[in-house]
Amino acid sequence: MDISEEIEKSNKKAFDIMNRGKAMLTDFDYAGKAIPGMKENMILHAGPPIAYSDMIDPMKAAVQGALMFEGKADSLEEADRMARSGDFEFKPCHEMNAVGPMAGITTAGMYVAVVENTEFGNKTYCNLHEGRGKILRFGATGKEVLERLNWMNNNLGPALKEVVKKKPVDLKNIAAEGVQMGDELHQRYRASSLLFLSSISENLLELPNAKEIFKFIAEREQFFLNLAMPAMKALADPADGIKYSTLVTRMTRNGVNFGIQVSGLKGKWFTGKVEPPVGLFFTGFSQKDAAGDFGDSAIMETLGLGGLSSAAAPSVTRFVGGSVKDAIHATELGYKITYGQSKDILIPAMDFRGAPLGIDILKVNETNILPTINTGIAHKQAGIGQIGGGISHPPLKAFNDALREYAAAYGL
């Protein structure tokens, strides 16, 4: 078999694995208990590897806030000193089977969702959704942020644990339904968040604190974000490490670099500089305020959602500064760089074609078409939070370098 045949065979295998998997929400627990290998002194972050000193301000602030939340520091200054001391191990969420939106900062004492791909037996993890505005994932660290995180740990997490233990939730099914109802599952989660709430309501309403839990989820239209992300990671991970495969299994950014990983080059990061996303800004803010793109949420595009399924969510196009034609065009471009289409997640506006699935570095390199990422825009200064929404693209360099490494690894 020549290498082209090997590639086709292995890509079909990786694609089938991504397509066939299931993503069941089965538990909530402390990261330190749930995530294998998680340590007390470990701090997980979004994106490819980065040292604390190189992080953008919102991510640094989120680290400081997390150390205060854990009770390890009494002030941001003390937390900053601790983070620089070398006593803490910083790791990408992705390298611990986890994902985190925006800063993605996850520590042992935080509650995480546990998602299981029941077809392949792997598990993934993600911290809980705080909402919008002043939140840790955007680098806000005020009293109300830490109080909310404590409430989530003491109330939201344990309540959801009880609920999903009684009845696990099929997250892939909700994602598919959400796309039918106008979500593209990166910028817009309104339908899928309500579908999630509906799916747990029977068991949730039996709890004594049901009203406050219900209200917290109902008020957060992106609540499903922190469940969809580990769901997509759970589908992607078993497709990683397939010899010869040129399909992308991870795309993520840390505010400085955008990183991708490729199935046939297991464990290697290929990176390039991130640019601030381009889009529309809330009143009083402009492009000059925008931070470099960050967060593990590009796992949604890795599995064909978000920007690649833009056509599913015409209402998002106005938020990110485009037209419906732009949205359809982004999805059409997605089909040009992917192996095939999702069998379960269908896009009504594309005549019910499946979402573009299985980004192929060969197709990206021969066309120079880069996946469109739908994303929130954060202020570059810590604590201000989201200032708009827009789109970004990975750097072509990451895909070029991946192909160069592929050629070296397979003797081309």
Partner 1 sequence: MKEEKKLKVFNVGTSWFVKPLEDQGIEHYNLDWSPPAKIDKDISSILKKLGRK
**Contacts with partner 1, residue ranges (CB under 8 A):** 3-4, 7, 325, 328-329, 332, 362, 365-369, 400, 403-404, 406-407, 412
Min CB(14)–partner 1 separation in Å: 17
What's the start-to-end Cα distance of the chain, in Å? Answer: 15
Render the burial of 367-376: b for 16+ CB within 10 Å, e for the rest: eebbbbbbbb
Give the dihedral of Cα atoms 397, 398, 399, 400; nearest 10 deg: 40
Min CB(325)–partner 1 separation in Å: 5
Closest by CA to 304, choosing from 270, 347, 264, 266, is: 347
* Nearest to partner 1 of 12, 39 (CB atom): 12
Element containing residue 195 per DSSP (H, E): helix 190-204
Min CB(368)–partner 1 separation in Å: 4
* Nearest to partner 1 of 167, 397 (CB atom): 397
Min CB(223)–partner 1 separation in Å: 35
Q: If you ran DSSP here, which 8-state letter would residue 324 be given? A: H
Closest by CA to 398, choosing from 363, 372, 365, 374, is: 365
Min CB(245)–partner 1 separation in Å: 13
Min CB(4)–partner 1 separation in Å: 5
Query: Position of tokens 């520590």?
Result: 107
Give CA separation, 135 vs 100, 276, 337, in Å.
13, 20, 35
* Nearest to partner 1 of 9, 329 (CB atom): 329
Query: Position of tokens 């954060």?
Result: 378
Give CA separation, 389 vs 163, 235, 306, in Å.
33, 26, 13
* Nearest to partner 1 of 52, 339 (CB atom): 339
* Nearest to partner 1 of 329, 353 (CB atom): 329
Residue 78 DSSP SS3: helix
* Nearest to partner 1 of 7, 115 (CB atom): 7
Min CB(265)–partner 1 separation in Å: 14
CA 156/CA 137 separation, integer angstroms = 17
Contacts of 156 (CB under 8 A, 6+ apart): 111, 128, 213, 216
* Nearest to partner 1 of 145, 402 (CB atom): 402
Min CB(388)–partner 1 separation in Å: 26
* Nearest to partner 1 of 122, 365 (CB atom): 365
Number of separate helices (H) and strands (E) present in the chain: 15, 16
Structure tokens at 78: 């003390």
